């Protein structure tokens, strides 16, 4: 196992978590895409891209389960790099087929990509605040079948996830201006290539 690489990935993910927690507590995390959060996400994405170019996707055999999960978190948060997230989804799907990462990891990334493209998600992993200040799943394709799909990748039933997500977000403050946040995020999706000329990414 590459201990040096494992430590690097874990440190990157921890920096992400610390900053997110700080911004969530002061209520600025959901006011658009916070500049400090975006800067850290982009820095981590560049570093992960360098790692992947050198060693391939860092799975369990190379860096251990904790660092492999950290690499997935970094990929999941690289929302300003549509090019990288689309490439990493393919690598994660292949790594999951080999047992190198959890099957849930490409499921989460696929849902995030589809949400950013403005399409319904498949597994129900992506949530956002409503105008009424309630945390809800992003729209789900063929929603009556979602629990069956979730079971195939090792995820709990949807109702359990909704409860867990709302409990985890109990101390967070939704955006003060929901409509402005929606408008800002739509503009962001256009800016970084999630909408427009890029083809929609399939399952």
Task: Convert the pLDDT of each residue in 88-137 to its tens digit.
Answer: 999 999 999 999 999 999 999 999 999 999 999 999 999 999 999 899 99
| The pLDDT of residue 170 | 86
- Take residue 77 and report the two structure tokens written for it: 């948060």
Tens-place pLDDT, residues 163-191? 999 998 888 878 788 888 889 889 999 99
In which band, very low, low, confident or very high, does the pLDDT at 30 lie, cut at 50, 70 and 90? Answer: confident
Please check the confidence at residue 155 and state whether its pLDDT lies above 50.
yes
pLDDT at 197: 53
Of 100, 105, 103, 102, nearest in space to 1 by CA: 100
Burial class (CB in 10 A: 0-12, 13-18, 19+), 53: exposed
DSSP letter for 106, please: H
The domain limits of the chain are 3-191
Compute φ and ψ for 57, nearest 5 degrees.
Answer: -70, 130
pTM score, two decimals? 0.92
Give the DSSP H/E element, type plus range, for residue 18. Answer: helix 3-26
User: At residue 203, does pLDDT exceed 80?
Assistant: no
3-state secondary structure of 73: helix
* 32, 72, 153, 62 alpha-carbon torsion, rounded to 10°: 180
Tokens read off for 129: 């605040």
């Amino acid at each position: 196992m590459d201990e040096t690489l494992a430590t690097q990935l874990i440190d990157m993910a921890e920096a992400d978590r610390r900053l997110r927690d700080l911004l969530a507590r002061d209520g600025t995390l959901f006011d658009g895409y916070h500049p400090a959060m975006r800067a850290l996400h982009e820095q981590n994405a560049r570093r992960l891209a360098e790692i992947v170019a050198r060693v391939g996707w860092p799975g369990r055999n190379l860096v251990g389960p904790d660092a492999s999960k950290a690499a997935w978190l970094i990929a999941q948060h690289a929302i300003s790099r549509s090019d990288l997230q689309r490439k990493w989804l393919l690598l994660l799907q292949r790594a999951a087929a080999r047992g190198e990462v959890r099957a849930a990891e490409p499921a989460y990334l696929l849902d995030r990509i589809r949400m950013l493209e403005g399409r319904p998600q498949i597994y129900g992993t992506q949530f956002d605040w409503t105008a009424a200040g309630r945390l809800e799943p992003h729209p789900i394709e063929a929603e009556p079948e979602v629990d069956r799909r979730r079971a195939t990748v090792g995820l709990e039933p949807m109702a359990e996830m909704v409860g867990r997500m709302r409990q985890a977000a109990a101390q967070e403050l939704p955006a003060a201006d929901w409509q402005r946040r929606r408008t800002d995020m739509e503009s962001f999706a256009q800016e970084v290539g999630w909408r427009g000329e890029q083809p929609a990414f399939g399952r």
